[in-house]
Amino acid sequence: MPEQKIAEIAMTRDIMDLDAEQLASVIVSWGLPRFHAKQIFTWIYERGIFDFDAMSDLPRGLRRRLIEECSAGTMRIEETRRSVDGTEKFLFKLVDGGMIEAVSIPASGRVTGCISSQVGCKFACRFCVSGAFGFQRDLSAGEMIEEALYLRHRSAAQSLTHVVFMGSGEPLDNYDNVLRAVRMLNAKHGLNIGARRITISTNGLIPQIRRLAGEGLQIELSVSLHAADERTRSALMPVNKRYPLKDLIAACRAYRQKTGRQVTFEYVLIRGVNSSLADARKLGTILRGFDCKVNLIPLNAQADPGLAAPGRSETAAFRQEVAKSGVPVTVRQPRGEDIEAACGQLRARHERRVCA
């Protein structure tokens, strides 16, 4: 995209960053009836149309002003890949050249969209590809909403019933924009997705977890644990040095008590690192008596080629050992492995190709 066009878009008001009342206020300030805001939202959220000139029931003058002063749908699809299991991955190029990914995951009776919250990531978890190219910037609420809309209207599934903030970036590090996006996903005039069908995943930012507990939202919280002792978790996740495991578990218990929502703990199984029966017993011990569940994830692709997934028998034994503590535990079934659907993989491949 030419630099002049990028600068023009950067100076316009992004419709996707506004809720219905904010857009109505803009329309009224232009001397027009506020009901036009609902018409615009219908075009964008229900029909997936971002072209203001195509919004045929709007007055011509309003369409022209929207074109001149506003923007919508500024991302461009750089690459699309579809798996044999129906999973579909999109690589988006943002107006400033940044790259993000979003994934559509169809299953029986549901279609889950996995969306990014930042361009890159600053937390450098050893097993994750998302931070391989460093952190560039936060996504706006509008950009996150646009990801979801692309998945709903442009994916093969043509549907979106659930949303998880599990793409590139740490959602709670972009707290205000993510919460604005959550509210638009949930709003009747937005995507109208039930709050309990929206999940925020975090690597364990304790102050933000405490803040989230007071938002009054019935969303799901997923916490990346990946180890059951301080030393191992710090080696895998540098964030643990700032927010230790012991304090994180306490914050999650407080979150459960205040919100009444069950917490999910994600645990990537890495052979020889955190997958032994002793590790399983430690995990069961720190979570015993906690209304939570554990989602085991055999390692997929990673930034460190020295890491590998355990075998099926080792995974099954780990699951059984954790279950002895009374904590519900499941093993996530891999999806989209043939299209590099794990966080950051497609972008990493694209970057390597461009730099080659």
Active site residue 146: no
Element (H, E) at 113: strand 110-114
Q: Which two tokens stand for residue 200?
A: 């925020």
Residue 163 buriedness (CB in 10 A; 0-12 / 13-18 / 19+): buried
> Among 17, 65, 19, 54, which Cα is nearest to 38's?
19
* Residue among 70, 88, 101, 114 flagged as catalytic: 101
Element (H, E) at 318: helix 312-323
Q: How far is CA 15 from CA 18, 72, 98, in A?
A: 5, 6, 20
DSSP, res 44: I
- 3 state SS of 156: coil
* Residue among 125, 128, 292, 343 flagged as catalytic: 343
Active site residue 125: no
Residue 56 buriedness (CB in 10 A; 0-12 / 13-18 / 19+): exposed
Neighbours of 228 (CB within 10 A): 23
User: Mind telling me the catalytic residues?
Assistant: 101, 343
